[in-house]
Structure 1
Amino acid sequence: MKDITKKWVEFARADLDAAEVQMQYGAKRGSAYQVVVFHCHQSIEKILKAHLVEQDLEVKKIHDLTALRTATKLEIPEKFVQFIDELQPHYLIPRYPDLPFAPKFSFTYNRKNAEDILNKTKELFIWIENALMQKK
């Protein structure tokens, strides 16, 4: 694996770790769940970009998980494709609650759904990381 790919994986893992820490923090405070989900998005974004780097493909400065998934040409199982689509809107909403389209986005961040998204993110992260390791 290229050194730069390893860096992308390291950064992706750091976001996953941050999501786990925020999950614990949120459980204590009763908040911060939107931050958990944001870091889940970031983690998957960066591990997908690691694949692009490893394949010498262009890494665009985008946050669109669906576009990144497609660009990697990975044959991702359907359950993960659906989860990527579910995770996609959680890049902007947790950061900018006053976005014009926010009222159309009916999602309440709470412990249950943040925990569910975190668990699915971990599962997807492992799958993508394993696929990356097989490219050696």
Structure 2
Amino acid sequence: MDRAALAKEWMHKAKRDIGMVELALENRPDYTDAICFHCQQAVEKYLKAYLVWLDVEFERKHNLGYLLDLINEKDPVPDELYETLERLEDYAVAVRYPDDWAEITLDEAKEAYKTTLRVEIIVLEKVKI
């Protein structure tokens, strides 16, 4: 599969995560852990799409900071984006295990969704497919 097709596939999968977030926000806003998990997943997939577009290889990790570092080597990433995505990083694993459970408010889930949409816009502006 060529780079453009692979980047498009990553973005398609990210969009499906966003779709799950939107369904949950509309129908089950109390599922804040699932909302935040899918936000993190969507951002991760958008960053991977951009890395594919940049022709940068990456390991199979679920670490947004790692992905941003790789992007930063080719295209400077503002510090603000690192700080914004740091919070989403916690949603990759912690929300899936009861012993790491911390209640997430609806406002926090909505903020995660807004962050996800900002990342989506950034990547879509850069990856022209």
Q: Is the aligned partner of 1:84 residue 2:85?
A: yes
Unaligned runs of 5+ in 1: none
Alpha-carbon distance between aligned partners in 1 of 2:48 and 2:6, rounded to the nearest angstrom: 11
3-state SS of the aligned residue for 1:90? coil
After TM superposition, list the pairs within 5 Å mapping 1:32-111 onto structure 2: 32-73=31-72, 74-98=75-99, 102=100, 107-111=102-106
Q: Is the aligned partner of 1:130 residue 2:129?
A: no
Alpha-carbon distance between aligned partners in 1 of 2:112 and 2:37, rounded to the nearest angstrom: 10
| TM-score when normalising by structure 1 | 0.82
Q: Percent identity?
A: 24
Whether the 8 Å contact between 1:5 and 1:54 is mirrored in structure 2 is: yes
Letter of the 1:58 partner, please give it: E
Deviates more, 1:41-50 or 1:114-123: 114-123
After TM superposition, list the pairs within 5 Å mapping 1:13-28 onto structure 2: 13-27=15-29
Q: Is the aligned partner of 1:117 residue 2:118?
A: no
Alpha-carbon distance between aligned partners in 2 of 1:26 and 1:109, rounded to the nearest angstrom: 14
Alpha-carbon distance between aligned partners in 2 of 1:121 and 1:13, rounded to the nearest angstrom: 10
Aligned length: 125
Unaligned runs of 5+ in 2: none
Whether the 8 Å contact between 1:12 and 1:44 is mirrored in structure 2 is: yes
| TM-score when normalising by structure 2 | 0.86
Whether the 8 Å contact between 1:37 and 1:90 is mirrored in structure 2 is: yes
